[in-house]
Amino acid sequence: MHARAAAVTATAILGTAALLWPGSAARAGESAAPTVVAHRGASAYAPENTLPAVDKAAELGFTWVENDVQRTRDGRLVVIHDDTLARTTNVEDVFPGRAPWKVKDFTAAEIARLDAGGWYSPAYRGTRVPTLEQYMHRVERNHEKLLLEVKNPELYPGIEQQILKLLGNESWLDRQHRGRLIVQSFSADSVRTVHDLEPAVVTGFLGKPPVSELHEYARFTDLINPSYGSLSAGYVSSVHSFTGPHTKRLGVFAWTVNDAAAARKVRGYGVDGIISNKPDVVRAALRAH
């Protein structure tokens, strides 16, 4: 089916109520409490983008986790931030002759041999780089929600379709999961592709487009997600004045906010979400004032 026709069909079948992102029920001028998202899992307290980081977020009482998805040489989707394995695994010890240790140059079986926790703390030795499938199962088990980042999509042609296929196989595109999934990327092309392929999915663009271009973004993204240091109340308000592809106002999730002062500042700007390595610190700051 053509993407536009699919969009119409999806909207007709799902209805608008099923398409909301957190905070989207607020009208312009209203400010709901921002949704707090555990960045790469609760990554200040467990190795980033691993199953323990997902569990830690749940233990702390957070529903939303963020991750980064890339692809192995043999086409498996894995959860890891950098385009190389060097910083967050022991790949240099296990495969010393394979510099620069790009994720895309290793098979899933090779990556499964690596330790992705020892670099963080000896207590996490033996932790693995999760496949996206393993990761989804853990998120599902914990009744969590997922802000999935398509990382470095220019390195992985077709990765958007592949991610959506996996999500579909795991039932994450079914109606009952609406409201539990947002797909974001620094690549506008990638976000647009996700929207065109699966129009019912809520999407986010990572960055801060000029206000004069926001109307273009509003065709394919529900959220504009800038770094918190680049934000202002005026910008958030400008974003909120646009209506997104699901006929709700565009939202703003700010990253990566790890201290109380910054959390209070961006809350004051009216953001809809705060993405943090220390979600507990953000929650405490928002409760205190």
| Run of H or E residues at 67 | strand 64-71
* One residue of 7, 24, 68, 130 binding ligand G3P per CB under 6 A: 68
Amino acid code (one letter) for 249: R
| Residue 275 contacts which entry, ligand G3P, Ca ion, none (Cβ below 5-8 A, type-dependent) | ligand G3P
State the nearest-atom distance from the C-beta of 189 to ligand G3P, in Å.
17
* One residue of 152, 255, 266, 285 binding ligand G3P per CB under 6 A: 255
Tokens of 222: 């529900």
* One residue of 48, 149, 160, 272 binding Ca ion per CB under 5 A: 149
CA–CA distance, 13 with 103 (Å, rounded to integer): 39
State the nearest-atom distance from the C-beta of 12 to ligand G3P, in Å.
31
For Ca ion, the closer of residues 149 and 222 by Cβ is: 149
CB 267, CB 34: distance < 8 Å: yes
- Residue 236's closest CA among 66, 39, 29, 38? 29
Q: Is 193 helix (H, G, I), strand (E, B) or coil?
A: helix
Interface with ligand G3P, residue 66, by CB under 6 A = yes
Q: Is 37 helix (H, G, I), strand (E, B) or coil?
A: strand
- List 39, 195, 240, 246, catalytic entry: 39
A 10 A CB-CB count for 44 gives 18
* One residue of 48, 55, 68, 222 binding Ca ion per CB under 5 A: 68
Q: Which residues bind ligand G3P (CB under 6 A)?
A: 39, 66, 68, 81, 149, 206, 255-256, 275
Give the active site residues: 39, 81
